Structure 1
Amino acid sequence: MNRRAFLKKLFGSFLAFAGLSGGTYYYARDIEPSLLNVQQETLVSGKLPKTFNGFKIVQFSDTHLGYHYSIDQFAELVDTINHQKPDLILFTGDLVDRPDTYDWGDDLVILLQKLKAAKGKYWIYGNHDHGGYGSDIVKKVMNQGGFTLLKNDSTEIISRNKPIVLAGIDDVMLGKPDLERTLAGTDQTLFTVLMAHEPDYADNTVHFPVDVQLSGHSHGGQVRIPFFGHLYTPLYARKYVDGKHNFENGPLTLYVSRGIGTTRLPYRFLCKPEIQVYTLQQQN
């Protein structure tokens, strides 16, 4: 977004909030950001082995710890995720808002360790994880928390000797994503899930043998005004803002999470934070 367009959006945001009542402002700042939605989805495919029927994947994204999202709130999120009894946990980027100023401590590592999934915990970089010289410290903390980084890499998830492919690319904005390298050597007949922080990358993913792309980054627009829609989304989250998207020129399905935290403005309005619970099912 160029400077002129950004200022226009910013001015529009100001006018929108200036017109809100004090009660609505309080709701957007202090109430809705804490109203976590657990979004249930079923992923149906003929490529899924029967052994994956009922297999649960939980995706969470964009916690942005340190920017109006506290370690105590993260502790509640951990309990909510564990309550879903996931087989696999995926984090699609942006752990803290500013790695260079965040007060890194043992509490975060302990909470990450508390997340339980029988088939593992995986994550990818978001733009805030790379920003502020944070790449190494974020990786260290996630490693200590029991998460495996997929940075232009893939792995097989096995259920009773039957595999699916899980892949993850580097951040699009500040990293060096390489999907061809990521999928090199994978069995293209297997059901494949790709983690990509920025949702608009799906326009590239659709040309590869990927069945599902899981993304975040957009925050769902974070603030939505009736009859106007979202006020602002970051680069590479302009086309696909939230929810489910299908593609005519390929089998790909994209899911965009609104994420957990906030950034730029500490508000959510008509855009509740969410985690996704995906239940796998073989198509008969």
Structure 2
Amino acid sequence: MRKRGCQNLGILFFCTIFLKMLCYGLFFFAISSKIGKRHLRIRRWIGKQREGVFMIPLWIWIIAVLLVVGIAVAVLLSSYENKRLTVEYYEIESEKIPEAFDGYRIVFLTDLHCAQFGENNQELIERIDECRPDMILVGGDMVISRESSNEEVPLALMKELSAKYPIYYADGNHELKLARNEEIFGVRYKDYVHSLKEYNIHHISNETIVIQSETGFISLTAFDLEKKYYQRFHVPRMPLSHMESVVGSSPGNIFHILLAHNPNYLKTYADWGSDLVLAGHFHGGMVRIPKFGGVISPQFQIFPKYDAGEFHEGETTMILSRGLGNHSIKLRLFNKPEISCIELKKRD
């Protein structure tokens, strides 16, 4: 198995912008210092000094300027990266893959959060077309569970893609929040799922289906995690018995794909019997530091074990997408939106 990714070109952009903003900040500081009083005094600081005044040290001004410059750079770079789509390529080899699915291509989409890439998401659609998928799997969080939001953008995207490709759609925590809180969101979830089905999209929830060709088949399960498995500051243990009580037993010797939005539970997914797990939710860790990975997860895990890319647990492979969009904090640094293009290969 191997992964081929597009190299991040944002580092040069970051350095250039940072140096420019740093120069502007220092220039502004020098000018303002000459124009203002030579010694700036304030009447109140943390405590009263003997003379009732306190001079702000030069180092505090420098730190303040650098902080402002850093924030400005982060905002500019994040705005740039939020629109820089990349395609990540993966190959999954297994003896369980039937010959009919040797070379079968899957595009995996997750965490759109109503983002748009070009007018009517045409840039996104074109990049998907370039992958020439045999089917599209959707891992959830295409919507935003907010009263002020709506589902027009993801529905328009799903409608256009469904005219070209078979699509299998599993929910993420945002879809499930809509579903579980009708007193807040009304029937938005029901209307959304109804529209998906009108477009002949297979919406699957806590069930296993068979994907069949003329001479072979594989299986696909969608696992909806309960709210407690998305709580912040704590990752509760998920026993295998819980997963089995929700989705039943694994299909056995059939090559099996699991759509499970939260990557934290790879060990449970592997013990259950998944061959390939497709997950999202973490948005790549928001900020990615070269050689260290993602910085923080939506559950406020610092440097989470699973952030983005390919992971292994026994005979199970998990592909964790960086996702396409974001919602509350629209921040991406060295972390471009991802389309995952996966090719299945039969191992001799």
What interval of TM-score do these two structures reach, taking the shorter chain for normalisation? 0.7 to 0.9
Match of 2:158 in 1: 112
Of 217, 225, 248, the residue aligned with 1:163 is 217
Tell me by how many angstroms 1:253 deviates: 0.9
Match of 1:244 in 2: 310
Equivalent residue of 2:192, what SS? helix
* 1:16-49 C-alpha deviation (Å, 9 max, x unpaired): 97452745531212x1111111011011001111
- Structure 1 residues 212 and 104, CA gap change in structure 2 (3 angstroms): closer
Match of 2:197 in 1: 143
Q: Give the TM-score taking structure 1 as reference length.
A: 0.81
In 2, the alpha carbon distance for the partners of 1:195 and 1:262 equals: 20
In 2, the alpha carbon distance for the partners of 1:90 and 1:267 equals: 25
Matched-pair contact (CA < 8 Å) for 2:309–2:319: yes
Q: Write out the 4+ residue segments of structure 1 that deviate beyond 4 Å after TM superposition.
A: 15-19, 68-71, 116-119, 174-178, 225-229
In 2, the alpha carbon distance for the partners of 1:236 and 1:172 equals: 18
Q: Give the TM-score taking structure 2 as reference length.
A: 0.67
Tell me by how many angstroms 1:156 deviates: 0.9
Match of 1:38 in 2: 87
The yes-or-no answer on 1:96 pairing with 2:160 is no
In 2, the alpha carbon distance for the partners of 1:86 and 1:73 equals: 20
Equivalent residue of 1:168, what SS? strand
Equivalent residue of 2:244, what SS? helix
In 2, the alpha carbon distance for the partners of 1:185 and 1:228 equals: 36
Contiguous gaps of at least 5 residues in structure 2: 1-64, 182-187, 231-237
In 1, the alpha carbon distance for the partners of 2:277 and 2:300 equals: 14
Tell me by how many angstroms 1:135 deviates: 3.4
* 1:61-82 C-alpha deviation (Å, 9 max, x unpaired): 00001xx647836343223213
Of 104, 110, 119, the residue aligned with 1:72 is 119
* 1:243-269 C-alpha deviation (Å, 9 max, x unpaired): 11111xx31111100000012221211
The yes-or-no answer on 1:272 pairing with 2:336 is yes
Match of 1:20 in 2: 70
* 1:125-177 C-alpha deviation (Å, 9 max, x unpaired): 11111224453243233323332122110111112221111111113437999
- Structure 1 residues 20 and 112, CA gap change in structure 2 (3 angstroms): same
Amino acid aligned to 1:91: V
Amino acid aligned to 1:52: F
Tell me by how many angstroms 1:58 deviates: 0.5
1:256-267 equivalences under 5 Å are 256-267=320-331
Tell me by how many angstroms 1:85 deviates: 1.7
Amino acid aligned to 2:168: Y
The yes-or-no answer on 1:59 pairing with 2:108 is yes
Amino acid aligned to 1:274: E
Equivalent residue of 2:318, what SS? strand
Equivalent residue of 2:227, what SS? coil
Match of 2:31 in 1: none
The yes-or-no answer on 1:211 pairing with 2:275 is yes
Tell me by how many angstroms 1:208 deviates: 1.3
Contiguous gaps of at least 5 residues in structure 1: 1-14
Equivalent residue of 1:204, what SS? helix
In 1, the alpha carbon distance for the partners of 2:74 and 2:93 equals: 39
Percent identity over the alignment is 27
Tell me by how many angstroms 1:116 deviates: 4.5
Matched-pair contact (CA < 8 Å) for 2:111–2:142: yes
Of 69, 78, 82, the residue aligned with 2:129 is 82
In 1, the alpha carbon distance for the partners of 2:340 and 2:222 equals: 17
Matched-pair contact (CA < 8 Å) for 1:111–1:145: no
* 1:89-115 C-alpha deviation (Å, 9 max, x unpaired): 01101012235322444x653431221
Equivalent residue of 1:58, what SS? strand
The one of the two structures with greater contact order (alpha-carbon pairs below 8 A, sep at least 6) is: 1
Equivalent residue of 1:151, what SS? coil
Amino acid aligned to 1:262: N
Q: Which moved more, 1:205-214 or 1:107-116?
A: 107-116
- Structure 1 residues 227 and 79, CA gap change in structure 2 (3 angstroms): closer
Amino acid aligned to 1:243: G
